[in-house]
Amino acid sequence: MKTLVSVFTLAIASAALAGQPAVALQCGAAETVITRVKDRQEVYGELYARALVFAGAKERVAVVTLDIGTLGSDYAKVLLKGISDAAGIPADNILINPSHTHNAPGVDGRNMSPESRQWLADALAELVASAVGRLEPATLRYGRAPVQVGFNRRLMVDGHVTMEPNRKGAVVPWVDVLDVHGRNGQRMAVLFSHAAHPVIVHRSSNKIGPDFPGYAVKHLRRLLPKEGAPEGIFMFAQGCDGNINGYPLNGGLDKCEAAGLALATAVVQALADGKEIAPGPPQVRSLTISLPLQKPPPLAECKANLANQPDNKRYQGLLKLVESGQPPFKSLPMRALAIGDLCIVGCAGEMFAEYQLWLDHASPFKHTFALSYANGYAGYIGTADDYKLGPAGGYETWDHPTGNPPWLPLSPAAEKQARDGLLKLLTELKSQGASRVVRPLSDKPEPATK
């Protein structure tokens, strides 16, 4: 396995923090191909994993992005431990964000063999360890530019939500960009985030590939050259895309490349307009909340359903839940990493766009990246209005399982609890940054509420 490494030091004075001394930071970036050669199918583009590590005097934090569908929660724990052991970064200080490309393992029934899962775990551990290897001074810049490569995919037709473009529905019409430069002014890494399902290729091809995020990186390497070589490592992070499809769905390689070019062009604009930020020491905080599910069927109905289909795991789980008398809930893990006034927050859920739009105004940080699929998969997290539709809510909020048995839809009350949890996490992280103490919250779910 060949790992391409670009590792640097980040030393930035946080003099903007009144009354506080300058804080030296370090940064490293690396990338590697993760298209498994042994198991490889025909590809239209290589799959990559990329890492960006920040290190202060006491703490190290890492953001890892990879071209894959999703990571199950148990497998994510394996990856976090492997990275931690290899790179010397606490597992609680790592955020892994899949792009959710639908032409890769982890989605639509594409599963990795045990051998491939171990191979990827080893590859990510080596990747992040490489990014920690060498250190040099650098600066950070943040930028944002307008762009939209997809549409809201929840359209009400004849009283029922269908998966079609809803041009009046919520989208996140921008790209967030973190630009990291070395001491000599050379760009070392760019982390850019947009919210849209990478499904422009999807069923138009059986080939493996990264969809529009991969094409965006391809165009960035062309648009931002330096002395004939690519300048920096370009990392795509997936935003709150739960109800946004890249457009056009199943449109093919040409349409996908065009979307990638549009996104890359917006990233270039954001880089040109970006402003230097004064970061503080790396800070991390984690929180797991319990979101209430809707009321399960009555006991008699559960027994009747199971009698008709005794091998149905859903019916087995529902009966067990009803007999337990416990209120049903789903755990939603969250993790936030902060560098001064920049925050990267990720949820394991497939978050709807409305959460990112809200968080953009509610966050106590000046700049906030909001990511889905972080460190596991907890299913779709929609809005109260979507869950109030009941069966008319369609695929994401009624027909789709939550990610864990017993596959009940979330309660409309879940939206407020998810927002409250995010705001609590970021507010306490902001306060924690002032005191410079890194202390994650309990990883145990809070008591569920009816």
- Cα distances from 278 to residues 25, 93, 175, 339, 414, in angstroms, run 11, 21, 21, 9, 36
What average pLDDT does the segment 385-399 reach? 92
Contacts of 36 by beta carbon, 8 Å cutoff, 6+ apart? 112, 116, 119, 120
The pLDDT of residue 227 is 57
Confidence of residue 444 (pLDDT cuts 50, 70, 90): very low
Give the tens place of pLDDT for each residue, 146-196: 999 999 999 999 999 999 999 999 999 999 999 998 777 789 899 999 999
The tokens describing 347, both together, are 């949820």
Residue 266 has pLDDT above 50, yes or no: yes
Beta-sheet strands, E only, within 239-364: 244-246, 275-277, 282-292, 329-339, 342-347, 350-351
For the stretch 31-90, pLDDT in tens is 999 997 555 578 999 999 999 999 888 889 999 999 999 999 999 999 999 999 999 999
Query: For residue 39, what pLDDT is reported?
Result: 54
Mean pLDDT check: name the lowest of 23-37, 141-155, 291-305: 23-37
423, 268 Cβ separation under 8 angstroms: no
pLDDT at 439: 40
Crossing angle for the helix pair 299-308 and 313-324, to the nearest 10 degrees: 150
Give the separation between CA 309 and CA 229, rounded to whole angstroms.
60
pLDDT of 10: 37
Q: Are 48 and 66 in contact (CB under 8 A)?
A: yes
What percent of the chain is modeled with pLDDT above 70?
A: 87
Whether the CB-CB separation of 66 and 50 falls below 8 Å is answered with: yes
Confidence bin at 111 (pLDDT 50/70/90): confident
Q: Is the pLDDT of residue 19 over 60?
A: no
The residues, any chain, with a CB within 8 Å of residue 261's CB and separated by 6 or more, are: 215, 216, 219
Q: pLDDT value at position 186?
A: 83
Task: Name the nearest CA neighbour of 175 among 142, 139, 206, 204.
Answer: 142
Q: What is the mean pLDDT of the chain?
A: 87
pLDDT band at 127 (very low <50, low <70, confident <90, very high): very high
